[in-house]
Amino acid sequence: ATLQEADSGTAMLGELDVLHRKEEVRKTLGYLPQEFGVYPHATAQSLLDYFAVLKGIGGHGERREVVESLLHQVNLWDVRHQKLRGYSGGMRQRFGVAVALLGNPKLLIVDEPTAGLDPAERVRFLNLLSALGESSVVILSTHIVEDVSELCTRMAIINRGQILLEAEPLQAVSEIRGRIWRRVIARDALPAMQRDHGVISTTLLGGRTVVHVYDEASPGDGFEAVEPDLTDVYFSTMAGHIGGQRTHVQAVAATA
C-alpha cells in the first residue's frame, strides 16, 4: 500500500513507478486484508457509500451508481439493507471486495481470501476473483494450495522475503512429474525413512504414514510413482530440490 519503504530494487505497475509515485499508486490500488473491521449496525449499502466518500467519489449521484454497481457485482444487492452483523463470513468477504474495488483499481491485492469459508462460499468467492482477474491484476497471498491451482496463472513461493520459485502452476507440476514417489510405512519407521531418503511430506492415513519422496529415480522397493500436485511442488521447493535456495523444512504431517 506504499506505506513501507523498499530496502532496494524497483517495482513497476505498467508505466507507473511504484516506489516514486506513491500517490498515483494509491489511486489505482485495491486491498482486501484477511481480516477487516466493519460497523456491525451499518447496512452494506450505507457503509459502502461511506467508504466511497473516503475514496473521493464526491457526487451523490455518482456514488449511488458506483455503490449499486458494486453490490450487484459481488452479489449482495438483495441484502443491501441488511446489517453487516448478520452477514456470513463469505458475505463479509464479498463486501470487502466491493470496498477494494472502489475507484476501479488496476491492481487488487487479496490476503488469505478463502480462510474460514465454507465450500460453497469458497467456490463463489473464487469465481468472483477469477472474473475480476479478466480486467485487473489480482495478487493473491495464500497458504491454501487449492486456491492457487484453481485461480492463478502464475505463482511465486516466497520464504523469509526470498522468492524460491516463480512459475506457472501447471508448468511447475509438470517439471517434477516422474520425481515424486509414494510409500506407506509404519509410524515408527518414519525416522529411518527421513534419514535415508528425501522425504518432502508425510500424511497420516488410517493409522499408517504415507510419505512422499523426491528422487530422480525410484528410491527402492515399496515405492510407487505418483502424479504430483502443487503441494508436492511446494514441499520440493522448500526442501531445495527445485527453485532457488535450499530452506530447512520439517516434513508436515496431516491427518486424513
State which H helix or E strand residue 21 sits in. none
Strands 199-205 and 155-159 come out as unpaired
Q: Tell me the whole-structure pTM to 2 decimals.
A: 0.80
3-state secondary structure of 60: helix
Q: Where are the alpha helices (DSSP H) in 176-229?
A: 190-196
Residues across the chain: 256
Q: Where are the alpha helices (DSSP H) in the chain?
A: 22-27, 44-54, 60-73, 89-100, 119-132, 145-151, 169-175, 190-196, 230-238
pLDDT of 244: 63
129 neighbors 69 (Cβ within 8 angstroms): no
- Which domains are present in the chain? 12-152 (3.40.50.300), 176-255 (no CATH)
pLDDT digits (tens, 9 = 90+) for 179-212: 999 999 998 999 999 999 989 999 998 888 999 9
Q: How many C-beta neighbours within 10 Å does residue 16 have?
A: 15
Q: Is 22 exposed, middle or buried (0-12, 13-18, 19+ CB in 10 A)?
A: middle
> What is the C-alpha to C-alpha distance for residues 208 and 54, in angstroms, rounded to an integer?
56
Percent of the chain with pLDDT over 70: 95
Q: How many C-beta neighbours within 10 Å does residue 240 have?
A: 16
Which three three-digit cell numbers place residue 71? Answer: 453490490
Q: How many C-beta neighbours within 10 Å does residue 67 have?
A: 24
Q: CA-CA distances (angstroms) from residue 239 to 125, 211, 245, 249?
A: 32, 14, 9, 6
> What is the C-alpha to C-alpha distance for residues 191 and 221, in angstroms, rounded to an integer?
18
Chain centroid offset of residue 11 CA: 21
The cell 439493507 sits on which residue?
A: 81
**What average pLDDT does the chain have?**
89
> Which of the four pLDDT bands, split at 50, 70 and 90, describes residue 247?
very low
pLDDT digits (tens, 9 = 90+) for 36-69: 889 999 999 999 999 999 988 878 999 999 999 9
> What is the C-alpha to C-alpha distance for residues 108 and 85, in angstroms, rounded to an integer?
25
